[in-house]
Chains A and B, each alone.
Chain A
Amino acid sequence: MQIPVHFYSYFKDLTGCEQTSETVVEGSTLAELLKKLFQRFPKLAAMERSMLVAVGVDYQSRDYILKDGDEVSLFPPVQGG
C-alpha cells in the first residue's frame, strides 16, 4: 500500500520536499515505514530520536500498524506560543 508522508518545519529542508509517499506491505508498522524513509533521506535519520510522528491528526508510537488510507506526518519537536 502507498502511504503519503508529509514533512513539516526544517524536515522539509532535510528531505528537499514537503511530501512524498512510501510503499509498504499490509501490516507494516510505523517503524518499518521510517526505516525505508531513512534509506531515502539519510539526513532525516539523524533526527530519529527527537522526531515526532503523527498518523492523521494524532500522535502514534513506532509500533502502530499502518492501514490503507493512513497519512503520516513527520516533524521536529513543536514550538508554539
Chain B
Amino acid sequence: MKRQLTITSDPIDEAALLRERSISNGMGAVIYFLGVVRGTEGETNISAIEYEAFQKMVEHQFYLLFDAMEKRWPIESVRLVHRVGVVKVNEPSLWVEVVAPHRGEAFAACQWLIDEMKRVVPIWKKPIFR
C-alpha cells in the first residue's frame, strides 16, 4: 500500500493534491475526506483553531495506522495531510484520500483511519475566540 503523510503549517492545496493523484487500472474507488474548522466551539463563536502536534509521535502513530489499514483492507494507497498551527474557520485542517478496488473497503478504511486518528494521534486543538 502506498502511503503519503504530510504534516504542515501551510494551507492545504486541494487542487495540487488532486493533480498528483495516481491510481492503477484495477482501482474503482477513490474516497476523499476534508476536515474543516467549524465556526463554533460549543455555542461560542471562534475565529480559528490552533493545532499543536507532538510531531515525531504523530508520524509514528500514523504509520502504525497505515500498517493496520494495509493488513485489514485491500487499499492501494492512502494520502493524508494534517495542518498544524492556526487554521481559520472554514479552512480545511485535514485532507484524506483512500484508493481501493471497490467503494466498500475505501469507505470503511477511510472512516476507520479518521476514527483511530482521533483516538491515538497526538494532535490537540486550542480554539481562538472572536
Contacts and interface: CB of A to CB of B under 8 A. Distances in A.
| Top 10 A-B pairs, shortest CB-CB distance | A80-B123, A57-B60, A9-B124, A57-B57, A81-B35, A79-B125, A80-B121, A81-B94, A79-B124, A80-B117
Given A75-B122, A78-B118, A78-B122, A54 B57 contact: yes
Contacts, number: 54
B23 interface: no
Nearest to B55: A57
Interface of B: 35, 51-52, 54, 56-57, 59-61, 82, 93-94, 114, 117-126
Interface in A36-81: 52, 54, 57-59, 73, 75-76, 78-81
A9 B126 CA distance: 8
